[in-house]
Amino acid sequence: MLPLRNKLAVAARVRRVWTSGWVMAVLILIACHAPAEPTPLRIGLTPIIAYDQVALIEDLRKYLAAKLGRPVEMIRRDSYRQAIDLLANDQLDCAWVSVYPYVYVRYNYNLRLLATPVYRGKPFFRGYLIVPAEDSATTSLLQLQGRIFAYADPYSFTGYLLPRFELHQAGKDATSFFAKTFFTKGHKRVVQAVAAGLADGGFVDSYIWDTLAVTEPQLTAKTRVVEMSSLHGFPPLVAGRKLKDRDFAQVRRVLIDMAADSEGQQLLKRMSLDGFVAGDPKWYEEAARMMRAVGDI
């Protein structure tokens, strides 16, 4: 038989093991039932917002996170194609894209329109054909035959589709019309290329050019708007396939309510916008018709 002292030691060891096991079980139980950390809302940004507006993008992220009660990640990409691929692969919950990517993902992946910005009182914008300021002769795209032309992005509505469609309507072949073309990867860079004389012309988003005319007038002063397109639905926000209906409604509501919120109003002012509306897919049907005309869809 064990001495009494040994018996007491064994009993104490058993109690410690049992107690530690019980504590561990309680901790596991608590962990299993503890509320999970909310997953971040992943928002894709394309060159529709200039990437040098770092402070604005961060303030917008913080605002949305506070209003939604969950973390928000701003995922920036240099091209519309990258944003399209992320949406197609369910790696974004939503994205602010150009008109062309919206029509593309709606046509190919049946993605939903989340919200449309309101610009100068309307949810519409125009395309501007710009040339260097010293070019006082050019008044139309057709006069740039045999010249150098700057495109924004292969998936840009204004910066690529508009000039190709206009040439198509005139019976011209866009692949041979210009002496040289190149992509700048952004509307602001189209303005910079034309202003610097690297290109004889380019089509840009009116929202981008008008905003630059306020924030960087020395840049736009080196260009001249010679042609304006008709009105088209403003570059929208599109929802990814995995964004739940509840989250879809909440994000849309926060965006729409920005115009009625003092902090939201300040952010909108910095973005040169009046607010957001739910939007209507019909506003983008003309863009879809143009894409079909040139064989893009």
Residue 123 is given by DSSP the state S
* Pairing mode, strands 72-76 and 41-45: parallel
pTM of the full predicted structure? 0.84
Average pLDDT along the chain, 297 residues, taken 10 residues at a time: 53 54 47 65 84 85 97 92 93 95 94 97 98 97 98 96 97 97 95 98 96 96 98 97 96 98 96 96 97 93
Query: What does residue 155 show for φ and ψ, rounded to 5 degrees?
Result: -115, 25
With contact defined as beta carbons under 8 Å apart, do 256 and 268 qualify? no
With contact defined as beta carbons under 8 Å apart, do 120 and 131 qualify? no
Q: What is the pLDDT of residue 28?
A: 46
Q: What is the pLDDT of residue 77?
A: 86
How many whole angstroms separate alpha carbon 116 and alpha carbon 272? 14
Say whether 127-229 and 41-122+234-293 share the same fold: yes
Q: What is 41-122+234-293's CATH number?
A: 3.40.190.10
Q: What is the pLDDT of residue 78?
A: 82
Nearest to 207 by CA among 133, 127, 284, 97: 127
How many DSSP H helices and E strands does the chain contain?
A: 12, 13
Q: Does domain 127-229 have CATH number 1.10.260.40?
A: no
Q: What is the pLDDT of residue 285?
A: 97
With contact defined as beta carbons under 8 Å apart, do 81 and 183 qualify? no
Residue type, 83: A
Rg (CA), the chain: 27
How many whole angstroms separate alpha carbon 132 and alpha carbon 195? 6
How many whole angstroms separate alpha carbon 140 and alpha carbon 130? 9
Q: What is the pLDDT of residue 30?
A: 46
Q: What is the pLDDT of residue 107?
A: 93
**Domain layout of the chain by residue ranges:** 41-122+234-293, 127-229
Q: What is the pLDDT of residue 297?
A: 87
